[in-house]
Structure 1
Amino acid sequence: MKKSILSVMVALTLSSTGVAIAAPIQNQASPTAIAATTKSGYGAGSQIKLSGAVNVRDLGGYRTKSGLKVKPNMLIRSAKLNTLTKHDQQVLTKQHHLAVDVDLRTPAEMKAAPDVKMSGVTYVADPVVSNKESQSNDKIFDKNGEQAMIDYYNYFVDSTQGRAAYKKLFHELLTVPKGKAVLWHCSAGKDRAGFGTALVLTALGVDKDTIYKDFLLSNKYRKQTNDAALAALKKKGASKTELKSNYYGLIVEKQYLDEAYKAANKHYGSMNGFLHKGLGLTSSDINKLRAKYLEK
Structure 2
Amino acid sequence: MAERIIPLTGAANVRDLGGYQNKAGQFVRFKKVVRGAAISDLTAEDANHLEAYGIVKVVDFRSSKEQEKAPDALIPQAENIFLPIFQENQKVSAAPKTLMEQVEAGLDAAQQMREVYRQFVQAAYSRQAYRQFVDILLENEQPDQGVLFHCTAGKDRTGFGAALILAMLDVDQETILQNYLETNQQMVTKRAEMLQQAQQAGASEAMLKGIQEVMQADQSYLAESFATIGKEYGDVSGYLQKGLGLSKRDLTDFRKLYTMVD
TM-score, structure 2 as length reference: 0.93
1:125 aligns with 2:82: yes
1:245 corresponds to which residue? 210
Q: Which amino acid counterpart does residue 122 of structure 1 have in structure 2?
A: E
Equivalences for residues 213-292 of structure 1 within 5 A: 213-292=178-257
TM-score, structure 1 as length reference: 0.82
Matches of 1:132 and 1:294 in 2, distance apart?
A: 38
| Structure 1, gaps ≥5 residues long | 1-36
Matches of 1:230 and 1:150 in 2, distance apart?
A: 22
Q: Which amino acid counterpart does residue 47 of structure 2 have in structure 1?
A: Q
Matches of 1:106 and 1:274 in 2, distance apart?
A: 24
Q: Deviations over 1:155-174 (max 9, x none)?
A: 10000111011001101100
Counterpart selection for 2:164 from 199, 202, 224: 199
Matches of 2:240 and 2:200 in 1, distance apart?
A: 44
1:19 corresponds to which residue? none
2:61 corresponds to which residue? 104
Q: Is the 8 A contact 2:86 2:126 kept in 1?
A: yes
Q: Which amino acid counterpart does residue 217 of structure 2 have in structure 1?
A: V
Matches of 1:131 and 1:249 in 2, distance apart?
A: 20
Q: Is the 8 A contact 1:166 1:279 kept in 2?
A: yes
Q: Which amino acid counterpart does residue 38 of structure 2 have in structure 1?
A: K
1:157 aligns with 2:121: yes
Question: Once the 2 structures are TM-superposed, how far is the Cα of residue 86 of structure 1 from its aligned partner?
Answer: 1.1
Counterpart selection for 1:115 from 41, 62, 72: 72
Equivalences for residues 53-72 of structure 1 within 5 A: 53-72=11-30
Q: Is the 8 A contact 1:60 1:73 kept in 2?
A: yes
| Structure 2, gaps ≥5 residues long | none
Q: Is the 8 A contact 2:56 2:78 kept in 1?
A: yes
Question: Once the 2 structures are TM-superposed, how far is the Cα of residue 288 of structure 1 from its aligned partner?
Answer: 0.7
Matches of 1:109 and 1:228 in 2, distance apart?
A: 19
Matches of 1:91 and 1:294 in 2, distance apart?
A: 24
Equivalences for residues 84-95 of structure 1 within 5 A: 84-94=42-52
1:170 corresponds to which residue? 134
Q: Is the 8 A contact 1:61 1:71 kept in 2?
A: yes
Question: Once the 2 structures are TM-superposed, how far is the Cα of residue 104 of structure 1 from its aligned partner?
Answer: 0.4
Equivalences for residues 180-195 of structure 1 within 5 A: 180-195=145-160
SS at match of 1:224: helix
Matches of 2:16 and 2:92 in 1, distance apart?
A: 32
Matches of 1:234 and 1:129 in 2, distance apart?
A: 31
SS at match of 2:59: strand
Question: Once the 2 structures are TM-superposed, how far is the Cα of residue 146 of structure 1 from its aligned partner?
Answer: 0.8
Q: Is the 8 A contact 1:78 1:184 kept in 2?
A: yes
Matches of 2:210 and 2:91 in 1, distance apart?
A: 16
Question: Once the 2 structures are TM-superposed, how far is the Cα of residue 63 of structure 1 from its aligned partner?
Answer: 0.5
Q: Is the 8 A contact 1:140 1:147 kept in 2?
A: no
